[in-house]
Amino acid sequence: MRHILNAIRRMRFGVITLIIQDGIVIQIDQTEKTRLDYSQSLEQEGSGI
C-alpha cells in the first residue's frame, strides 16, 4: 500500500495501473503526462503549433 500512495503523491498528471493476481497487487505501472501551455506563446506569435 505504501508504494501505491507514494506513486499517487509524486504524480501530477497521469495514470496509475495496478496489476492484481489472486487478490494481491503484483505490479504498479505509472504513465506520467506533461501538460504544455502554449496559450501565452500563441497570443504573442499569433499562430498555432
For residues 32 and 7, the answer to whether their CB atoms sit within 8 Å is no
Under DSSP, the state recorded for 12 is S
Per-residue pLDDT tens for 1-49? 899 999 999 998 999 999 999 999 999 999 999 888 877 665 566 555 5
Domains: count for the chain:
1
The predicted structure's pLDDT at residue 49: 58
Side-chain half-sphere CA neighbours of 19 within 13 A:
5
**What grid cell was written down for 13?**
498528471
The predicted structure's pLDDT at residue 44: 63
For residues 17 and 29, the answer to whether their CB atoms sit within 8 Å is yes
Range of the domain at 16: 2-45
The predicted structure's pLDDT at residue 38: 76
The predicted structure's pLDDT at residue 17: 96
What is the reported pTM?
0.60
For residues 7 and 18, the answer to whether their CB atoms sit within 8 Å is no
The predicted structure's pLDDT at residue 40: 67
